[in-house]
Amino acid sequence: EYNGKWAAVDDYLVSHLVESDPVLEQVLKNNHQAGLPAHDVAPNQGKLLALLAQITGAQKVLEIGTLGAYSTLWLARALPALGKVVTLEADPHHARVAKTNIELAGLQDKITLHVGPAAQTLPGLQAEAPFDLIFIDADKPGNPLYLEWALKLSKPGTLIIGDNVVREGAVVDPHSDDARVQGVRRFIEMIEQEPRLSATALQTVGSKGWDGFVLARVTG
Ligand code: SAM
């Protein structure tokens, strides 16, 4: 079991490369105190999201799955002054905590939080499209639908990121009875079949265990 070492390496890397930030640290504390599941991205993953937003020159970001807005805040902070993040959260309690955290960070002008199942809120975003970066991180059985919407709300050059696609290796089991695994497998196979996407995926280990993410670029 390498988990202890994975977390120790994350701590080492984060201590050297990811600036410590009292607001983001307070956000994680608030999420814990409010009873939210610890499903936020790790700090080095948050920094990766921020770097990807900056590398792609993103101005408009869509996030599906807010939780307590930890990843939302990483993304919002990475954007230029007029940049915007639209984030979607189904759970009203998570959304309340997220709203408090967004206000704590003073980023309420940059972030719009829509409360409700993403399947219901995504169709209302067409006027704000296209988005430059789309982070899919909600319920995994929803991933196939979220990919369809991501394509509708994108333009050539949009970067689509899908989190938690390895699931401690469970993704390789075609007979899995876990709807999350089946959602992720369908998501990956849809990306494979989609001529408008060029994609890869990486496995990750660290403080969040063994998982991974997909990066897909809309090419046309
Ligand atoms: N992106 C967050 C972060 O890194 O800080 C973590 C998001 S957490 C993995 C997934 C979130 O998606 C949960 O807060 C959950 O309530 C939300 N969710 C679940 N089903 C959803 C749905 N149908 N529509 C929108 N959000 C949903």
Alpha helices, DSSP H, located in the chain? 3-17, 22-33, 43-55, 70-78, 92-104, 118-121, 143-152, 179-193
Q: What is the mean pLDDT of the chain?
A: 97
If pLDDT is split at 50, 70 and 90, which confidence band does 1 have? low
Mean of pLDDT values over 103-113: 98
Q: State which of 24, 67, 136, 208 you would mutate to test the pocket of ligand 1, scoring each by most atoms of that ligand within 8 A of its C-beta.
A: 67
pLDDT of residue 4: 85
Q: What is the pLDDT of residues 155-165, one digit of tens each?
A: 999 999 999 99
Region 72-85: mean pLDDT is 98
Instruction: Provide the pLDDT for residue 154.
Output: 98
Confidence tier at 220 by pLDDT (50, 70, 90) = confident
Task: State yes or no: pLDDT of 2 exceeds 80.
Answer: no
Q: How far is the CA of 40 from the centre of ligand 1 (A)?
A: 9
pTM for the model stands at: 0.98
Instruction: Answer for the pair 86, 61: CB distance below 8 angstroms, yes or no.
Output: yes
pLDDT at 127 over 90: yes
Pocket around ligand 1 at a 6 A CB cut-off: 39-41, 65-67, 70-71, 88-91, 94, 117-118, 137-139, 142
The CATH number of 3-218, from 3.40.50.150, 2.160.10.10, 3.10.580.10, 2.60.120.40, is: 3.40.50.150
pLDDT, tens only, 8-18: 999 999 999 99
Distance CA 80, CA 59 (A): 7
Between the CA of 121 and the centroid of ligand 1 the distance, in Å, is 13
